[in-house]
Structure 1
């Protein structure tokens, strides 16, 4: 039985190997596990490595180099574990025995998904920063609806500003209805936090079984998308970016939202039609927006979003905590062991 591991500048192959020691791969008792490790730009400084990540997130796994020797190693590999190293079409073409890919991150831009489906390879991921992103999502709700960030900005610039464009809509969070578009792992964590705060939560996710939500003890009303859009005071996005979800939040959506409503995005910028969002904010069609993701990172100094006084922007840091990434391989270990034991997983993408 052969396992190929590819580490990188954020999650080393040594950490992945350590976590793999306790993964109960099927048949491991009868066969010795041969582990082969590779590194993908592990020697780069964090800032330079982020450039590689952006290339993958924008253009997919074919846009970057793959580790030397890994294609050959995959020819007789049974399992592959990575963080954000590319899993390209050319790599998978050689992987005739590969049964499963495990990746310890939420986004899947680094994986050639069509090739994975064509070869019937099981794909499991973990959202390593789900807790930090859920916390940050709530933070953005408070920051935007109560003008926390912009009030701070004004004070730093010598102004004692106490009046803002959303004054007629300001109220406590518990008076808002929060709509979640996407009720996956992060969406559920956001709902759990909102439940504890006594906030009404509605959601749309065509892939969620209502009985499972009830079983998990979440108080969430599952509605069609139009109902969630029209009833929400705060609309928070928690979908994956796919060809089907690209620009799904557009002019039609903004026209259906309440006049005093807000949109929160800690997922992917591409799900929102940028020009339509800017138009909705400029014309006060909605009260405001809080975005941790941008269409271009870093954001351009002449970006029109920077001229608006009803948007809160952060530089894609929702999941950036000291413990989220280092713990990711061990979270993947737990998820894989659960999958091998039960045959089911919330983190299963392809089977």
Structure 2
């Protein structure tokens, strides 16, 4: 059995190897071949390649040198941020599974995997950190926590803010969750614990499996209904050709003047100019964004002049343990799938 792993600057090939060694892939002797994808860079230097693959996809970045030869007889491929390109999949006729352990799937050519009927195990390495952070963004924005702190640091004792006429506790607000994948489910679990009413829009989720997990939410039939009825809208989707810019002025204009938009997923889900416009004219109470269309923000960015937005620098999933240990989460999910034939985190 031949297994190819690809390490990078955030998840070492050594950790991937250790995780693979305790996967229940069969009784055959394992031959594990390790490759690197910019593993010699610092975290900050690697950010350039993260943005490159997220924006341009796996077929438009450099793949590890020599890997195509080893993939010709590989049974499994596991990675973190490295590309899983069309070319890599096409040369691997024996491939039984691909596994990746990061937040999105922009690094994988899912279309070709589906054409080849190769299952993809997608473990969101930082689901819990992102869910925690998203809840924090809701509280920070609706209760002006970050703005009050910033004012004090700048010598002002601010107690009045643009959302004063709307301020209330979280349990008095209905949170609309767009996308009930792994991160969405983790957020809903937290909201359930706080007795916060939840609406969900996700046409792909299995509602029976959702409820078997003990989660409580009302499913709506359309994004329009969710945007109309929610006090807080939180986005938890991948960016695909179908979802890019799906949040536009038509949906934003359906929101209540007292409502908020939270985005800890991907900036390109939203039409930037449309969100800027509605915030500038106070059409909604506010927004909290951990992702932006330009990272880092330029000093003349219009986002910096708004008084009704909380901004953070794409750190929702950044904890000391979530990323480096993610291959062991991948190991658990692979073993569960091989044992039961089912997983919430498999894409076929």
Question: TM-score band, normalised by the shorter chain?
Answer: over 0.9
1:158 counterpart SS class: coil
The alignment partner of 1:5 has SS state of: strand
1:35 aligns with 2:32: yes
Residue 290 (structure 2) aligns with: 292
* Counterpart secondary structure, 1:191: helix
Q: Where does residue 10 of structure 1 map in the other structure?
A: 10
1:1-351 counterparts in 2 under 5 A?
1-25=1-25, 28-29=26-27, 31-224=28-221, 225-350=223-348
CA distance in 1, matches of 2:191, 2:148: 24
**The residue matched to 2:72 in structure 1 has which SS?**
helix
Q: Is the 8 A contact 1:74 1:91 kept in 2?
A: yes
Deviation at 1:203, TM superposition (A): 0.7
Matched length: 347
Calculate the TM-score normalised by the size of structure 1: 0.97
Shift of 1:106: 2.4
1:302-323 per-position Cα deviation (integer Å, ceiling 9, x unaligned): 2211111000000000000000
Task: Identify unmatched segments of 5+ residues in structure 2.
Answer: none
Instruction: Return the alpha-carbon distance in structure 1 between the equivalents of residues 213 and 55 of structure 2.
Output: 35
SS at match of 1:230: helix
CA distance in 1, matches of 2:336, 2:250: 41
- State the secondary structure of the residue aligned to 1:331: helix
Question: TM-score, normalized by length of structure 2?
Answer: 0.98
Q: In 2, distance between residues paired with 1:75 and 1:247?
A: 38
The offset of 1:259, in angstroms, is: 1.0
Describe the SS at the equivalent of 2:51.
helix
| Cα distance, 1:115 vs structure 2 | 2.0
Alpha-carbon separation, structure 2, partners of 1:255 and 1:107: 28
The Cα shift of 1:209 comes to: 2.2
